[in-house]
Amino acid sequence: MLQVFATRCLNAQDTDNLRVAFWNFENFFDPYIDSTRTYNEFTENGSQHWTTSRFYKKRNNIYKAVLAISEGEPLAVMGIAEVENQYVLNMVFNQTPLRKHNYRIIHYEGDDRRGIDVAMVYCIDMLQLIHSEPVKIRNPDNRSFRSRDILYAKFYDRKGDTLHVFVNHWPSRYGGEMETIGLRALAAKILRHKVDSLCSDKKAIPKIVIMGDFNDTPDDPSIRDVLGAKPLKDAGRHDVLVNLFTDGRELGFEGTLKHQFHWQIFDQIIVSRHLIVNGHGLIYKKGSAAICHPDFLFQTDDAFGGEKLFRTYVGPKYFGGYSDHLPVRMELSR
């Protein structure tokens, strides 16, 4: 199977770089009453008055932004948060000019109350999917608790290297940062258990990419202590995970979302140490981690000064923009 994959890819784009990206699409629902079941605010008759024309405008905004993130070339893999279902993903990646990039979709219906899920798309000219599965976040102290799944996928690249990818959208701070801190620590604990299980095979040192909207900053305990993702400058030889998104000055922009006056980095890409120090195969391309910030994703912030993100809605008011998060990206090379 791998031989067939490699032969098919001989005519694919001639590059050894694999660009990896993540973006929270912010409430990308279809306008129908279907997979959301009991949450139907994003429908034509719902409180957000989510019409077909608004849906298509959002779809077009997203695909144009994805082209900007990828600079017109295919992304090897992209993690996505806040999508309702496979239909909206298909409308972006298979019903727009993005279809020329031969993307395939990985999506599982999750248990989130509002029906928003995480997903992945990958380019079949660069990666071959071996396995995927959702990882449930369950709270033993509250059996009614439900959150977005963590999405896991295992790939081969064109030269037979193995890449493990996790996409996350951890529990939000809605209800208070301190009141919800334990829920993000729970997600971190579950993710770290999956990472440790991949590392248990000493004969196959794993190359891991973890990305997502963590609803915490790189310095928060869930990321730094529970998950154990350290900045490169602080990572010791026994640290498994390295956080590439700890310093806005090195990422081209100060944060991925804005709260009042302050920008914060909630959207991050974390890699296993073996993608930093490994001497062969896939390796992190130094300096490639970046917060994508094209001008069209912003508008003037009259309330707090400077710029703010050009969102689709702010509360019930429709603006017709993009998202309340900036995309992030990095590259792997050989």
User: Which tens digit of pLDDT belongs to each residue from 148-172?
Assistant: 999 999 999 999 999 999 999 999 9
pLDDT at site 132? 98
pLDDT at site 174? 86
Q: pTM here?
A: 0.94
User: Which tens digit of pLDDT belongs to each residue from 47-92?
Assistant: 999 999 999 999 999 999 999 999 999 999 999 999 999 999 999 9
Higher pLDDT, 235 or 181: 181
Question: Span 106-135, mean pLDDT?
Answer: 96
pLDDT at site 5? 43
Please give the full DSSP string across 247-314, using - where no structure is assigned: -HHHHTSS-SEEETTEEE--EEEEEETHHHH-SSSSEE-TT--EE---GGGEEE-TTTSSEEE--SEE
Q: Indicate the domain borders of the chain.
A: 19-333
pLDDT at site 38? 76
Is the predicted pLDDT of residue 36 greater than 80, yes or no?
Answer: no
User: Which tens digit of pLDDT belongs to each residue from 182-199?
Assistant: 999 999 999 999 999 999
Positive or negative: CA dihedral 165, 169, 171, 173: positive
Is the predicted pLDDT of residue 10 greater than 50, yes or no?
Answer: no
The alpha carbon of residue 62 and the mean position of all alpha carbons in its chain are separated, in whole angstroms, by 14
- What is the percentage of the chain residues whose pLDDT exceeds 90? 81
> What architecture does CATH give domain 19-333?
4-Layer Sandwich (3.60)
